Amino acid sequence: MSGPQSAKAISGFNLAAQPVGFLQPLFAGAAGDNQTYVQRLEHFDRVKGFEPVAWPEHGTIRFPDPIDAIVGGEALWAFQFPDAPPLLLPWGRFRDAMKDRLDSPALAARPLLCFDIVQTLGLEQSKPAAFLRAYNAYAKMDRIAAERWRNRSILEPALKEAAHRFSPDADDHLSTLRIRQSGSSFLVQINDGGAVMTRELQAAFREIIDLYTAIFPSGSTVDIAPTRQQQNPVRRKAAGVTVILVGKLSEGQLQLPFDHEQSIDIIGADQADRHFHNVDFSPVTLIVGMQKEWRHLVAVADQFESANPLLVPITSSTAALMRDMEFQARSRYPSISILAGMSFNSQKADPSTFLRPVVDMLTVEGERLPPVFDPHRLPARHNVLLRERIAKRVDEREIACRLGTRALRAGVLPGTRADLFIDPDLSWPTHEDWERLFEPLYAVALRGPGEMPQRYGPRHAMLLAERREQHPSEWRHFMYEGAQRLLEMRGWHIKSHDSYLELSEENRRFSAVIVSTGDEVPAEEEGELRRPAFGRAALLVIHIEARRETLLIGNRGQYCHVTLSDIASMRPGTSWLWPVIRRQLIAPSRHPTLAALRLAASVAAEAIRLERVEIISSPPSMETLIRSLESPDCERFLDFLPDGITRREVLMKFRVRVDEETMDTTADAILRLAIENDGPTLVID
């Protein structure tokens, strides 16, 4: 801001509000503007410019004889003596005038004000005596206070002045100059002083000591040292859990994390070095990244080995991969794998979704940890964590089966020991009940309710189990075994025969085979296609792996086809087939394929036969409709509506046809097929 080149000192501002002391001159612009200015000083003696200020509300004293000042000229200084008009003079004359009045009665009892005067005005000859008086004024009360005051008010400015004379460009460094004292030993700290500066400061120190001997301890010595770098007198205490994000995960949405009711530090791998410079290690350090970047995870873990890292690879593959074997063989750190699904995008997804289960498991609500367990208490060195949402209408056995199925697919072998975590709910089964549910498949220990943090939102059950290396040749064997045990978990009695199983419950008994490829499916009787068997099927075919189309086609035949995932819905004593068919056929993500259309047609025909049909208008000939729906090429009469398959139903359009024998005609009809737990329902509109 450019001010005027000249201004007139008209008043003084008594900013210390004392009857005796310096006044700050206030200026009026020479051009007659109404603005008030103060002078910007250069070394106290020169006017560098004028700066506008607001007129102070209090503490001004009018100068009887205003004088002008100009930029570049001598600065004006003012002083208030008691019972006298204020003194206002240019710097040189002001110095002389004040020097003459140092011994005046007004200043005689004011050693600290005198110090300000001689120090500000540079009255060298008066300094030794004035410094001593001022020092003694402080020392009368507190020697330490006096020494600290002397060091910062006398020694420090003197050293800076000496150093400035030696090196006028060193002001930036000089601003960092600080003095510490212990007895007669002084330590002068300054940034980047260099050897020459050090010698210069040492010489200046000796000169000052010699000049003001009376206020320094005898035998004073000095060391010059660089300023200590931002050393923290304190280190931050670590959060209960530190999460280090690695690779693409840290480049994506670092907008983590969870609710901070839990004590978590989340940092990128590139920040970790600096972080741990200031912060202690947490009880638990998670190193989290995509599984395909496992080498990077291991490298970061090596870097922070002392933090007892726990690796958390996030994988988009449901099944264990060869990469897992390589990772497990090469990593000496414990790990918990998280399955994130095929659609996981490491750069867009919020990793908190996948980290939350781990952190929930490791932490308790509210205060800092300790964690529920330390990494050494993991079930195994390499583990997988699976989470299943607890829906109100789903029984606990189904939840257990779902978790078991997913665990099998993820490489958790039957018989493995596992930990189970359940969001607390007192209305749920006890520890023993939960452990018994899993008994056929895994040796599960329930981590008790109360150990899990109470959270808002959906509740979950989580299974933490060993993810063991598997050879592909072993995989099929373990899945067969796993399928049987899953059926037992679901509540079925199993009797094993050479080539098939016998499943039974109180009122039902049927055979089952477990297959891993389509070639292993027993052939149906040849001949014309008959009605699908549905609940009348004599054989259950359990597919270890199967495409949806295989199931849809199969279930229009004589056997009932399910996958491992369907076993959770096979509740004994119920019409379990219909929930299974619904799961295979009806869901928003289910594509309206030809196989889906044909199975939906057969299910619609079954609904008519079961008299679970509602006709709203223009009833077609039921006989024609059933015959059309059950024909092998039903697509000649039937098509999906644009909405096709929704969350709850299948929408189809039945086209007008003329019966060639009877010449009956049917109008267009809309078929809305839903599948309830006890059977299909059809609305014809």
Partner 1 sequence: MNAQTKAVGYGTMMGDGQFGTYIKAGADMEGGIGLTHVTDCANLEGIVESQKLEARHCSVFDKNILYLFYGKPAYRRKWDGESTSNLGFARVCFILKDEVSAQADRMLPFDSGAFFGRYRHAFHDMIGVEAFDVDPAIHPRKIIAAFYHSFSDYFWMQPIAGLKFPLTKTIVDSYYKLITGGLKEAFDDRCATIELQYRESLPLAGHVAAVIAPNQMFEDPELLALIHSWGAEPRGYMVPHMFNPSEIGGRLYDEVNRYLIDAGLIT
**In 3D, which of 53, 15, 58, 59 has the Cα closest to residue 36?**
53
Nearer residue to partner 1 within complex by CB, 52 or 217: 52
Nearer residue to partner 1 within complex by CB, 139 or 674: 139
Is residue 338 at the binding interface for partner 1, with CB under 8 A as the rule? no
8-47 residues near partner 1, rule: CB under 8 A: 13, 15-18, 21-22, 24, 26, 35, 38, 40-41, 44
Is residue 233 at the binding interface for partner 1, with CB under 8 A as the rule? yes
Q: Closest separation between CB of residue 307 and partner 1, Å?
A: 15
Token pair recorded at residue 128: 């030794």
Q: Closest separation between CB of residue 232 and partner 1, Å?
A: 4
φ/ψ (deg, to 5) at 123: -85, 85
608-627 residues near partner 1, rule: CB under 8 A: none
Nearer residue to partner 1 within complex by CB, 24 or 681: 24
Q: Which amino acid makes up residue 72? A: G
Work out which of 59, 66, 73, 491 binds partner 1, going by CB under 8 A: 59
* Cα R_g (the chain), whole angstroms: 44
As a whole number of angstroms, the distance between CA 45 and CA 76 comes to 8
Nearer residue to partner 1 within complex by CB, 358 or 400: 358
Is residue 457 at the binding interface for partner 1, with CB under 8 A as the rule? no
- Tell me how many degrees the CA angle 254-259-263 measures, rounded to the nearest 5: 90
As a whole number of angstroms, the distance between CA 545 and CA 516 comes to 6
As a whole number of angstroms, the distance between CA 176 and CA 156 comes to 11
CB 194 within 8 A of CB 226: no
The window from 248-256, 397-405, 477-485, 585-593 that contacts partner 1 (CB under 8 A) reads: 248-256
Is residue 251 at the binding interface for partner 1, with CB under 8 A as the rule? no
CB 636 within 8 A of CB 576: no
Nearer residue to partner 1 within complex by CB, 137 or 622: 137
Nearer residue to partner 1 within complex by CB, 8 or 150: 150
The DSSP bridge pattern shows strands 87-90 and 679-684 to be unpaired
Nearer residue to partner 1 within complex by CB, 15 or 658: 15
Is residue 508 at the binding interface for partner 1, with CB under 8 A as the rule? no
Q: Which helix (H) or strand (E) holds 653?
A: strand 649-654
As a whole number of angstroms, the distance between CA 149 and CA 561 comes to 91
Is residue 258 at the binding interface for partner 1, with CB under 8 A as the rule? yes
Nearer residue to partner 1 within complex by CB, 79 or 205: 79
374-433 residues near partner 1, rule: CB under 8 A: none
Work out which of 249, 256, 634, 652 binds partner 1, going by CB under 8 A: 256
Is residue 259 at the binding interface for partner 1, with CB under 8 A as the rule? yes
Nearer residue to partner 1 within complex by CB, 260 or 389: 260
Work out which of 2, 125, 218, 231 binds partner 1, going by CB under 8 A: 231
CB 320 within 8 A of CB 335: no
Give how far Cα 606 sits from Cα of 600, 620, 659, Å. Answer: 10, 16, 22
Work out which of 89, 190, 222, 238 binds partner 1, going by CB under 8 A: 238
Token pair recorded at residue 355: 């980290």
Nearer residue to partner 1 within complex by CB, 240 or 532: 240
3-state DSSP call for residue 26? strand
Dmax (CA) of the chain: 137
φ/ψ (deg, to 5) at 213: -55, -35
Token pair recorded at residue 245: 């994000």
The DSSP bridge pattern shows strands 241-245 and 221-226 to be unpaired
Q: Closest separation between CB of residue 258 and partner 1, Å?
A: 8
Q: Closest separation between CB of residue 52 and partner 1, Å?
A: 5
Nearer residue to partner 1 within complex by CB, 233 or 588: 233
- Total of chain residues touching partner 1, rule CB under 8 A: 74
Instruction: Name every residue whose Cβ is closer than 8 Å to that of residue 92 and which is 6 or more positions away in sequence.
Output: 45, 74
Q: Closest separation between CB of residue 632 and partner 1, Å?
A: 54
The window from 229-237, 405-413, 629-637, 640-648 that contacts partner 1 (CB under 8 A) reads: 229-237
Token pair recorded at residue 478: 């373990």
Is residue 285 at the binding interface for partner 1, with CB under 8 A as the rule? no
As a whole number of angstroms, the distance between CA 265 and CA 288 comes to 13
Work out which of 195, 234, 426, 523 binds partner 1, going by CB under 8 A: 234
519 exposure class (CB count in 10 Å sphere: 0-12, 13-18, 19+): exposed
Work out which of 167, 352, 575, 621 binds partner 1, going by CB under 8 A: 352
Nearer residue to partner 1 within complex by CB, 115 or 576: 115
172-201 residues near partner 1, rule: CB under 8 A: 178, 180
Is residue 279 at the binding interface for partner 1, with CB under 8 A as the rule? yes
CB 319 within 8 A of CB 361: no
**In 3D, which of 9, 15, 22, 87 has the Cα closest to residue 58?**
15
CB 583 within 8 A of CB 675: no
3-state DSSP call for residue 631? coil
**In 3D, which of 584, 648, 572, 569 has the Cα closest to residue 399?**
569
Is residue 371 at the binding interface for partner 1, with CB under 8 A as the rule? no
Work out which of 4, 86, 247, 257 binds partner 1, going by CB under 8 A: 257
Work out which of 97, 187, 211, 254 binds partner 1, going by CB under 8 A: 254
66-125 residues near partner 1, rule: CB under 8 A: 109-113, 115-116, 119-120
Is residue 366 at the binding interface for partner 1, with CB under 8 A as the rule? yes
Residue found by looking up tokens 């289960």 in the block: 357
Nearer residue to partner 1 within complex by CB, 132 or 670: 132
Verify cis geometry, omega within 30 degrees of 0, for the bond prior to 257.
yes
As a whole number of angstroms, the distance between CA 568 and CA 455 comes to 26
Q: Closest separation between CB of residue 343 and partner 1, Å?
A: 21
As a whole number of angstroms, the distance between CA 502 and CA 497 comes to 7
123-162 residues near partner 1, rule: CB under 8 A: 134, 137-138, 141-142, 144-145, 148-149, 152-153
As a whole number of angstroms, the distance between CA 328 and CA 381 comes to 9
Q: Closest separation between CB of residue 273 and partner 1, Å?
A: 13
Q: Closest separation between CB of residue 56 and partner 1, Å?
A: 5
Q: Closest separation between CB of residue 140 and partner 1, Å?
A: 8
Q: Which helix (H) or strand (E) holds 513?
A: strand 508-515
Nearer residue to partner 1 within complex by CB, 266 or 422: 266
Nearer residue to partner 1 within complex by CB, 16 or 615: 16
Nearer residue to partner 1 within complex by CB, 17 or 329: 17
The window from 254-262, 341-349, 552-560, 664-672 that contacts partner 1 (CB under 8 A) reads: 254-262
φ/ψ (deg, to 5) at 500: -155, 170
Q: In what order do the strands lie in the sheet with 443-447?
A: 264-268, 241-245, 284-290, 309-315, 335-339, 382-390, 459-466, 417-422, 443-447
The window from 366-374, 441-449, 555-563, 599-607 that contacts partner 1 (CB under 8 A) reads: 366-374
Nearer residue to partner 1 within complex by CB, 17 or 342: 17
